[in-house]
Structure 1
């Protein structure tokens, strides 16, 4: 019953329920709702976080039913229309390409309990806006939030490639248009002729920040300057070695492109990428990043390659399904 629910507010990842990871796994939510990711981002936030409120919903028998990691953040992608310098309390982080109401059964009363608690935490922090961002339209999380009284506002799209029906890279390529398939193979052939090298490795505890400057440069080129910080990324990856992978493209020993991926039970997440667009080359490093990720997903036997947000045309050409995302925000007291 709704009246029997209670919400525990936790201010540090170290204090999260021991049963959280089991709930995240059972709910189908991705790795970035788990303790390891939240602790790493808490210690080394890639994008500045002013404060955090982890919300855990329990029933009368003290069973953990729901969870929402909420962070006081600005809006680096300009998705919410916040005023300059304004922050909001939202779940999850902007560096997570989709958000979930973490629960095995996403009931409206669980959503309502979380939203009421978010409203109280936002008021405590002196904020007028709170809610969930990057929720997939039509998902169980979206349905629960709508049943709790919120309307979704479209803000973005993310992409995912279903590889479950393919046995090989060639099987996947056969589903693409002839021109796309030809261009894919042409780019890889030209890269091989030039001597380019594609590699995938596990992240280490001592990555070199300079390698990740390409992420900063690429984000700025696409209008999101400051979205990545190379040193913060290196520090963050030091706590995420179990799942983090580094995708690198090199030519004559020089780094042309770099990507960060995370591997979990059924998905390979392409989380961040940057590449050199200033150097004249007979091939596109971005094509090689994509090809390397596809091949690695097949190598690991993972049925889904998560493509993240933006670069819509390329991702759709290469068979990724578009997933519209919405924000579900509580009432703005200014309006």
Structure 2
């Protein structure tokens, strides 16, 4: 959020509300305010889903304090886009808001896909349909027959920063819409995001090299037992070898090797997510009239 604010601040004012009980932090609301409306700091284009940060079993106290404080500051609307079906917003926040006579409107907005990772690569292949298992094996075999394959993981801060330009170049080469998306301002955001996350050891870049040439790259967040697929790119010259898909497949294989428990494909309904075993998790846009 700090990175997004530093690059995209749109004239809103920050509203970082921390609620404490006897000097003990029970929750944080990372919001920005413009006029009478508050929303999460960030943007759906680069933030797949968001939520409030709340201590266990303190949701009621936190949300009551937050809503009352927002009302006291003259805030009449909350626009919370995008949130998961299992978020605190669709859970305890909604119940508290209704009790405080707020009006809540939540509509389906998008979907994210998640995959529970098994213990071994062979178990993962066994989870796929027979057709998809055959396709993954066939495409990997064809890739290895066509070129000398080197799949590398970049995680150290200096190494990530050294490789970001390669990632951005591959991102722009993927499709015309991706090239249009990656404006100068957006590239600044990606570089700053990578720098910030890599400093905390929360970011990995995965590169698929063919005969020494970077053919595809994937950017993932690495937090606790979950890998989050944030973005990717590939050189269209190698599209016949399915490098875009296989670069993601290999991140799953590496995640299993590292003992990760979950793989989050993040927002979007691309068919490959379903084919690789992901299950859909609905995302909603919630708007709240505080009254």
Q: Do they superpose with TM above 0.5?
A: yes
Note the C-alpha offset of 1:216: 4.5
Offset at residue 281 of structure 1 (A): 4.1
CA RMSD of superposed structures (Å):
3.1
CA contact (8 A) 1:118 1:130 kept: no
For each residue in 1:92-138, what CA deviation from the matched residue of structure 2 results, as whole angstroms up to 9, or x when unmatched?
Answer: 53333222221122634522433454566685xxxx75332221114
| CA distance, structure 2, for counterparts of residue 220 and residue 268 of structure 1 | 27
Counterpart in the other structure of 1:246: 205
RCO higher in structure (CA 8 A, sep ≥6): 2
Offset, 1:177: 0.6
C-alpha separation in 1, matches of 2:166 and 2:33:
29
- Look up the SS of the partner of 2:127 in the other structure: coil
Q: How many residues align?
A: 273
Instruction: Give 1:262 shift.
Output: 1.6
Provide the rounded CA distance (Å) in 1 between the counterparts of 2:260 and 2:245: 20
Three-state SS of the structure 2 residue aligned to 1:316 is: helix
**8 Å contact 2:71–2:290 — kept in the other structure?**
no
Q: Is the 8 A contact 1:99 1:133 kept in 2?
A: yes
* Runs of 5+ consecutive residues of structure 2 not aligned to the other structure: 99-103
Residue 236 of structure 1 aligns with which residue? 193
Match among 116, 120, 127 for residue 175 of structure 1:
127
Q: Report the TM-score, using the length of structure 1 for normalisation.
A: 0.71
Residues 19-71 of structure 1 show CA distances to partners (whole Å, capped at 9, x for unaligned) of xxxxxxxxxxxxxxxxxxx444444x4xx233432221223x23211112124
What CA distance in whole angstroms lies between the structure 2 residues aligned with 1:194 and 1:134? 42
Alignment match of 2:48 (pick from 72, 97, 104): 97
Instruction: Give TM-score scaled by structure 2 length.
Output: 0.80
1:111 and 1:145 in contact (8 A); partners too: yes
- Which residue does the alignment assign to 2:106? 152
Separation of aligned partners in 2, 1:151 and 1:132: 10
Counterpart Cα distance in 2 of 1:122 and 1:209:
44
1:70 partnered with 2:21: no
Q: C-alpha offsets along residues 297-320 of structure 1, whole Å, 9 cap, x if unaligned?
A: 112211011111114311011111
